[in-house]
Amino acid sequence: MRRLTRKQIKQDELIGLVDQGMNWLSQNSRQALLGLIGAIVVVMLVWGTRAILDSRGEAAGEALSKAIAIYAAPVGSAAPTDAKLKFATATERLAAAETAFSGVRSKYSWRAESRLARLYLARIAMDRNDKEQAIRELSELVRKSSADPVVRMAMLNLVRLRVEKGEGAQLAPDLEAMAAGKDPRLPRDVALWQLAQLREHDGNSEEASNLYRKLVSEFPDSPYRGDAAQRAGSAS
């Protein structure tokens, strides 16, 4: 009896599997057809879902662009005579922009465009001097701990608004976590700067100076470095 090599054994196993598969197909053609149809349906569903998401993405981008155009549209006598989009008053423009951004936020809630729309809604609230509404919008944006640029912009604005409101003490733990790199909602140097500003605002000059020095020494490329170096001396 001849000795089979490992390669020949593998080939024989493969041939056997193919033979078994062909026999099964010939005896179970209906099940095989149904299985093939099922696989095709799954592929079509995946393809269709992706196509829908792509089209929804384009629609979300267009809706956001239109809302931004409304927000930036000229008003009153400052509007060029040939402007395609203009408003008689700033109040009318803000109302129209609010409606447009609210539509983007609700219709595309799972997309990045929705987050940016909410950031604009906070901006509109600030334009109206409605700081409470702005804080509500920004607070929704920063609920998720993320390094997303929109989340970071929202966090920065939220910190400033809450400090103005006298709520700096409640912010300190979050700022400390962000400055330590445990919370990504602000870059560490930005969080250090905001925390130092908060301590200085609260009259804790020594801690503020230490934080400014920490920023200078640990973040030499930070855009806050120059100001921090100046504040380190004046805050002490």
pLDDT tens digits for range 128-170? 999 999 999 999 999 988 999 999 999 999 999 999 888 888 9
Tell me if 173 is assigned to some domain. Answer: yes
Given a contact cutoff of 8 angstroms between Cβ atoms, the answer to whether 185 and 178 are in contact is: yes
pLDDT tens track for 75-117 = 888 778 888 888 999 999 999 999 999 999 999 988 889 999 9
On whether residue 68 sits in a domain, the answer given is yes
Maximal C-alpha separation, the chain = 103
Domain membership of residue 120 (yes or no) is: yes
Structure tokens at 203: 């009259």
In a domain, 12, yes or no: no
Given a contact cutoff of 8 angstroms between Cβ atoms, the answer to whether 144 and 150 are in contact is no
Compute the Cα dihedral for 168, 172, 178, 182 and give only its sign: negative
With respect to residue 38, please indicate whether it lies within any of the assigned structural domains: no
pLDDT of residue 235: 57
What's the structural domain count of the chain? 1
pLDDT tens, residue by residue, 44-57: 333 443 443 455 56
**45 inside domain:** no
State the pLDDT at residue 45. Answer: 37
Tokens of 165: 């409101």
Residue 114 maps to a domain: yes
Amino acid at 140: E
Beta bridge partners of 87: 75
CATH number of the domain to which 153 belongs: 1.25.40.10
Q: Tell me, yes or no, whether 16 lies in a domain.
A: no
Quote the pTM value: 0.71
CB atoms within 10 A of CB 166: 9
| Contacts (Cβ under 8 Å, ≥6 apart) of 172 | 195, 198
Range of the domain at 227: 56-234
% the chain with pLDDT above 90? 57
